[in-house]
Amino acid sequence: MLVNASKLVGTSILSVQAGRPIATVSELIIDPNSLKTIAFRVNGPMVNRNENILDVSSVREYSNYGIVIDDIDELMAAGDIIKISKVLELNFNLVGLKVETKKGSNLGKVVDYTLTPEDFMVQQIIVKRPMIKRFVDPELTIPRKEIVEIDDYKIIVKDEEKVIKARAEKEDFIPNFVNPFREQGFAPADNQNLDAQDTE
């Protein structure tokens, strides 16, 4: 199953050691060469603003409860891992990129994208159509296999006729693993009061 990137923003980061939420996702850091999420930028009252990067390799599990890690010590500074640091320097963001075909036809702009929650790999881009084409196809859902090239300003895909013309699927991810927070009676509603928690 797939999850929308826009749904991941605001997701709680849950610490096994603390037994509670310690932060929330504020940004996905995507490597444009592989279209894979390599890290998350996070924030929250317990987070040092100089150490607010979570490498995806530190993620134990993801479910509708949140992203589970061992401890807040998993968070790092932007320059601690060279690969992440280099991607951050690119300031790359899929959302807002123009999408064109190889023949130069304007398909619209990326408004969201979907990922596989197991590895956070981008699987589809969701494109809002230009005004003149919006009445027929308000959105296009384009699979990664149709992407030919990406640069700082646009994404080039194969011929328009070959892309999938449908709205993005908005399926809820159903976990297939045992989540330690479920056993402790942790509920998603607890995510709402991060600011009220102590910072010890």
Give the pLDDT confidence score for residue 175 in this predicted structure: 44
Domain presence at residue 187: no
Domain presence at residue 107: yes
The answer to whether residue 166 scores a pLDDT higher than 50 is no
Residues 115 and 69 in one domain: no
Residues 72 and 142 in one domain: no
Residues 57 and 131 in one domain: no
What's the CATH code of the domain at 52?
2.30.30.240
Question: Mean pLDDT for the chain?
Answer: 83
The answer to whether residue 189 scores a pLDDT higher than 80 is no
Sign of the Cα torsion 126, 9, 32, 1 reads: negative
Domain presence at residue 200: no
The answer to whether residue 170 scores a pLDDT higher than 70 is no
Is residue 13 within 8 Å of residue 66, measured between CB atoms?
Answer: yes
Is residue 133 within 8 Å of residue 108, measured between CB atoms?
Answer: yes
Number of folded domains that form the chain? 2
Length of the chain: 200
Q: Which domain holds residue 72?
A: 3-92
Give the pLDDT confidence score for residue 161 in this predicted structure: 60
Model confidence at 196, pLDDT cuts 50, 70, 90, reads very low
Helical segments of the chain, H only: 5-8, 82-90, 131-134, 180-183
Residues 88 and 102 in one domain: no
For the entire predicted model, the pTM comes to: 0.77
Domain presence at residue 186: no
Model confidence at 194, pLDDT cuts 50, 70, 90, reads low
Summarize pLDDT for 128-148 with one digit per residue, the tens: 988 766 656 678 899 999 999
More confidently predicted of 161 and 155? 155
Give the pLDDT confidence score for residue 132 in this predicted structure: 64
Residues 60 and 114 in one domain: no
